[in-house]
């Protein structure tokens, strides 16, 4: 059973976003996986400048347009402003570089990837001789104004943020010159870090919460703490999955969908892509939802040391 084309939520700017999205990191094998995802009904494709997979994603989308599977307007593509482009004069440059790689005329959604600004330049993760990240001091309200200008220019239809805390969202929302509020905040969200307080705040401000790492993580040692437990082996998720005759992964996805999140999944295996598309075939009971709520432990799978030196960094228990 393929995903339904109308499985979407209307954002605060009136544009609609499909509630289940397909992630495109890492770039290896990304092109074929994206084609497969589109074949199984995924219409929301999540990318980023830093993923270095935009050329592959663009080729995949154009291939599925060429064979008649989709039209460009059927695809909802999300791109991200990388942290080395936070200075207002660099924002449009990042967006245009991504559009050129994708060979798209516009993005459906463009979001600030992180609230941590880094030194501008060719290095995606600029580091000094001490191997520590070189940060930059940028007022994100000015970055946001440059994002708004990109929307006014027609290069992107919706704009949002990622990895923002409540305090950081409030900084944008309270900006006296605010023209467009963020439509979405994309954050790490899974049963071990359910972001309940942030979810409530976003709902109260008509901002969608979008979850990544909903299945735990892909265990990439560059970004992921290898000492963290494997979410999909959690005994409660395994037991609930058995009850519904589903996989723990589907239970973790369905949990977030029922909470009102937009959900991103990342897998390049054809069987798992097909499996993830089954998230609309069952519903968790209220009792099971509460049981999964109880797994929350403010635990992040991401390595804290990458950004921990930045003044805008907040540990996982701060939402």
The pLDDT score that the predictor gives to residue 310 is 57
Out of 49, 51, 77, 268, pick the active-site residue.
51
Per residue in 76-121, pLDDT tens? 999 999 999 999 999 999 999 999 999 999 999 999 999 999 999 9
pLDDT at residue 60 tops 90: yes
Per residue in 194-241, pLDDT tens? 999 999 999 999 999 999 999 987 667 766 777 888 999 999 999 999
Report whether 113 belongs to an annotated binding site.
yes
Entry pTM: 0.93
pLDDT at residue 316 tops 90: no
Rounded to an integer, the average pLDDT of 179-191 is 97
The band of 1, judged by pLDDT with boundaries at 50, 70 and 90, is: very low
pLDDT at residue 19 tops 70: yes
**CB atoms inside a 10 Å sphere around CB 302:** 18
The pLDDT score that the predictor gives to residue 2 is 44
Q: Give residue limits of the domains in the chain.
A: 8-306
- Is 51 marked active-site? yes
The pLDDT score that the predictor gives to residue 219 is 66
Give the class (CATH, top level) of 8-306.
Answer: alpha beta
* Whether 181 contacts 207, CB under 8 Å: yes
């Amino acid at each position: 059973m393929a995903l339904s084309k109308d499985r979407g939520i209307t954002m605060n700017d009136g544009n609609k976003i499909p509630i289940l999205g397909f992630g495109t990191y890492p770039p290896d094998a990304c092109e074929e996986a994206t084609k497969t995802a589109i074949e199984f009904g995924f219409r929301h494709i999540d990318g980023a400048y830093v993923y270095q997979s935009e050329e592959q994603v663009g080729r995949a989308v154009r291939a599925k347009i060429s064979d008649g599977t989709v039209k460009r307007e059927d695809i909802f593509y999300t791109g991200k402003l990388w942290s080395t482009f936070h200075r207002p004069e660099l924002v449009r440059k990042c967006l245009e570089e991504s559009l050129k790689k994708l060979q798209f005329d516009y993005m459906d959604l463009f979001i600030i990837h992180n609230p941590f600004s880094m030194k501008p330049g060719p290095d995606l993760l600029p580091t000094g001789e001490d191997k520590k990240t070189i940060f930059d001091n940028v007022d994100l309200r000015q970055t946001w104004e440059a994002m708004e200008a990109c929307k006014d220019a027609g290069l992107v239809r919706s704009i949002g943020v990622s990895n923002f805390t409540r305090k950081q969202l409030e900084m944008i929302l309270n900006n006296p010159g605010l023209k467009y509020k963020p439509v979405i905040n994309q954050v790490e969200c899974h049963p071990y870090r359910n972001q309940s307080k942030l979810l409530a705040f976003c709902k109260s401000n008509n901002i969608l919460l979008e979850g990544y790492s909903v299945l735990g993580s892909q265990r990439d040692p560059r970004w992921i703490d290898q000492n963290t437990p494997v979410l999909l082996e959690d005994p409660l998720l395994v037991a609930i999955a058995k009850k519904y005759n589903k996989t723990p992964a589907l239970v973790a996805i369905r949990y977030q969908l029922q909470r009102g999140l937009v959900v991103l999944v990342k897998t390049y295996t054809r069987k798992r892509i097909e499996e993830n598309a089954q998230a609309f075939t069952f519903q968790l009971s209220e009792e099971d939802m509460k049981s999964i709520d109880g797994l929350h432990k403010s635990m992040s799978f991401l390595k804290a040391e990458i950004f921990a030196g930045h003044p805008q960094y907040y540990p996982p228990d701060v939402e």
